[in-house]
Homo-oligomer: A and B are copies of this chain.
C-alpha cells in the first residue's frame, strides 16, 4: 500500500466544503413529473403546498431550473459540526477481496443520528425557524429520520413532534430515547391525539401502526396546529437537493486526487441518499461531460425500481398526500414483516424515477440474508458496523469488485455508506441466530397492490 498516495480517508478542509446545493433537475431534459392534487388532478400550487410545508422549502420543491441554491451560513455552521464526512479508500476491503478494483465509500454515519438524514433535517428545521414557526411534525419508522430531525430542532430550539410507528416505538426504545434527549415529543402512532389516529384505533384496536398512518397523523397535526408545518425525510425534490452535499463533497475529494469513478452505487429506498450521492456525477453525464455507471440497489422485499410500475401514485398509505409520478409498488404495498431496517417505502423519488425511465441508471434487487452476511464481513474488515440499508450498497460494490478480479480490470468504484447499524442490533441478532429470511413478494401480491393505483389522465 505504501506506494499509494491516496490516504485512507480524505477530509475536505472547511474552505473546500461546498457553499451551494446542486439541483440535479436543472440539467434534466425530461423533468420529473409535477406533484398532482389528488382532488383536482392538477399540479399542486405553491399555495396549496405551503399549507403543509415551509414556504422556502416549497420554492425549492417546485424549482426545476435553478442549478445551485446557496447553503445559508447557519446551515453551513451546523454542517461543520459533523461534516465533511470522510471519503474512505477501502484499502482493507480491497486487500481482503484481492481485487484490482479501487473502492471508495462516502461514510455518512459519523454523527449521533447515525445517517445522512441530518443533512436535510437541519435544512428543513432552519427554514421552519426562519419562517418564524414554533415547530414541525414528522413521522418516523426505523427512527433515523426522527433522530436527525430531533437533533436539528434541539440545536435551533424548535419544537419537534414525532409520530413513531407503534411497533418501532416499543421495539426500538433507544431510538425513542435519543429523540427525547434532544427535546422532541415522541408519540406512538396510531394515537388518540389526532382524528385519523382515533379512527384507526377504533377500527383496529390492536394495531401496531404503519408508516402511512404515522404520516397522516403528522400531517393532520401540522395543519391543525398554529405555527407548525410538516417535514419529510426522503422522496421529495427538496430532500434530493439538500442531500446533494454528499455527492458534491465526494466529487471535490476525488477531484483533489485526480480520481474518476467508473461505477457509483447507492442503496435506494425513497432515494434521498442515492440521489444526493450521484447528483453532481449524474449532472456531468446529463451534460455530456463525463460518463459513469450508476447502480441503485434495493431490497428484493421492496423492489420498486425493478418490479414496480412508473405511474402516478399516493406517497402515503393513507392517501392524503399529493400524487407523485414514480416507480411504485402501490401505496398499499407492505414489505414482509421479516424485512429489517429501512428501504421500505413503496415508491421512489420522482427525480430518480425519471432518470431511471430515461435509461441513465441501472437498478438491482438483493436478498436480505446476503446483505447481512456482507455487512458482517465488511464490519470485520473495515471496522465500521454498517446499517442494513447501507449494506445493500456494500454488497453490490463487492460484487462489482469481484467481477474486476475475474476480468483483471482496475475499475474505480464509489459507493455510499449511509450510516451505522448501532440501533439495528436486533436484526443482527436475528441474522446470527438463523432467524432471518429473505422474503420476496409474489407477482400476485405486487399486482394486487398495483391494481389500486389512482386513475390519472
Binding site for B on A (CB under 8 A): 1, 7-9, 11, 13-14, 77-78, 80-82, 91-92, 110-112, 114, 151, 154-155, 173-174, 177-178, 180-183, 376, 379-385, 420, 422-423, 425, 428-429, 432
Residue of B nearest to A6 (CB): B14
Tell me the complex Cα distance, A276–B10, Å. Answer: 26
Tell me the complex Cα distance, A396–B240, Å. Answer: 42
Which secondary structure dominates where chain A touches chain B?
Answer: helix
A11 touches which of B11, B77, B428 (Cβ 8 Å):
B11
Q: Is B425's CB under 8 angstroms from A379's CB? A: no
Which chain B positions have C-beta within 8 A of A81? 8-9, 92, 382-383
Which chain B positions have C-beta within 8 A of A1? 77
Among A92, A383, A385, A432, max chain B CB count under 10 A is at A383
Query: Contacts A112-B379, A380-B154 hold; do A422 and B174 have CB atoms under 8 A apart?
Result: yes
A425 touches which of B110, B177, B381, B382 (Cβ 8 Å):
B177
Tell me the complex Cα distance, A294–B2, Å. Answer: 39
Query: Contacts A81-B8, A425-B173 hold; do A178 and B385 have CB atoms under 8 A apart?
Result: yes
Q: Is B376's CB under 8 angstroms from A181's CB? A: yes
Tell me the complex Cα distance, A128–B454, Å. Answer: 64
Query: Contacts A174-B422, A181-B376 hold; do A381 and B155 have CB atoms under 8 A apart?
Result: yes
Q: Is B178's CB under 8 angstroms from A384's CB? A: no
Among A77, A154, A177, max chain B CB count under 10 A is at A177
Query: Contacts A181-B428, A425-B174 hold; do A13 and B7 have CB atoms under 8 A apart?
Result: yes
Residue of B nearest to A91 (CB): B77
Query: Contacts A7-B80, A382-B81, A383-B155 hold; do A429 and B14 have CB atoms under 8 A apart?
Result: no
Tell me the complex Cα distance, A182–B383, Å. Answer: 9
A112 touches which of B92, B178, B381, B383 (Cβ 8 Å):
B383
